[in-house]
Amino acid sequence: MTKEDLKIIFMGTPEFAVASLKALVENGYDVVAVVTQPDKPVGRHGSVLQPSEVKKYALEKGIPVLQPEKMKDPEFVQQLRGFNADLQVVVAFRMLPEVVWDMPRLGTFNVHAALLPQYRGAAPINWAVINGEKTTGVTTFFLDHDIDTGRVIMKRTFDIPDDADVEYVYNGLMHLGAQVALETIERIVEGDGKVDAIPQEQLMDGQTLHAAPKIFKETCRIDWNLPAKRIYDFVRGLSPYPGAWTTMRTENGGEQQVVKIYKTTKVDRLFDGLNKGALVADGGKLFVVTMDGALRIDTLQMAGKKRMEASAFLNGLRNVESLTLE
């Protein structure tokens, strides 16, 4: 089998998936169709429909686009079958029913932004940073009945610097994922459709598995009772999106305000006698007290205002010590 013989259907939605789709197209693979989410209503009244980033790229390249509401819809399944694809490649998409993932003769593989079996779930990049991991990576695996549990084809690692936020890791894994997707298809082509794939049970080695569930608003609330390092990792694991948040209250129990914190710095400081969450201004810098010390807050955003440096925040305050983060 040669690459020219291979008909591929690509499934994905966000920018993260575009890099892999682009790599397939630019390397001469025959992507016969793209499957992506339906256009999303945006604007004040939801009257404008916004296509996904994957759809935008596919249309630019003249690739047919399918946007099913339900993956089991008989009309969609019939359309999909009509392309007679040999292989399906999935990147940052939703869960597929068996009638879809089992359709092509060479199967369906997924590009997952973690080193499986670690960080199965919808938000592996965020959770790897939140948990202070020093290394993550990309895994390709064949889909099966359960989420992110299929046989592993390839893995590639990616280092996480201690000061990296989610945006840095996202961009790195996006490009690494495209490379691994290509290498995985090359293996399939070279093996004439056969490729070694390892059951994830053989890769566990007694390790404790970390999950990567979907992140909601409440997930992003900062717990000031945690050690400084945990909070530091939590903030960078949610920056710049969706953003870690807390509430700010004045000493006399005034109205609470929601504050997003985008960047902090670890410091060797102790502020004795102050409660966790207390704010301290010192030398033009803003600090917050944690369970075992303090963090310097560098970038934040008050509700209804633009993101700002801590120095700009301090310029508008007379008595920062009257404020507490909760």
pTM of the entire structure?
A: 0.94
For 32-149, where are the alpha helices, taking DSSP H only? 53-60, 74-82, 98-101, 124-130
The predicted pLDDT at position 253 comes to: 62
The predicted pLDDT at position 170 comes to: 98
Q: What is the pLDDT of residues 249-272, one digit of tens each?
A: 876 666 789 999 999 999 999 998
The predicted pLDDT at position 207 comes to: 87
Q: What is the pLDDT of residues 208-225, one digit of tens each?
A: 999 999 999 999 999 999
Question: What are the backbone angles phi and psi of residue 206, rounded to the nearest 5°?
Answer: 75, 5
Beta bridge mates, 282: 285
**Contact criterion met (CB below 8 Å) for 114 and 136:** yes
% of the chain at pLDDT higher than 70? 99
Flag whether pLDDT at 196 surpasses 70.
yes
Confidence of residue 43 (pLDDT cuts 50, 70, 90): confident
168 three-state secondary structure: helix
The predicted pLDDT at position 250 comes to: 72
Q: What is the pLDDT of residues 52-99, one digit of tens each?
A: 999 999 999 999 999 999 999 999 999 999 999 999 999 999 999 999
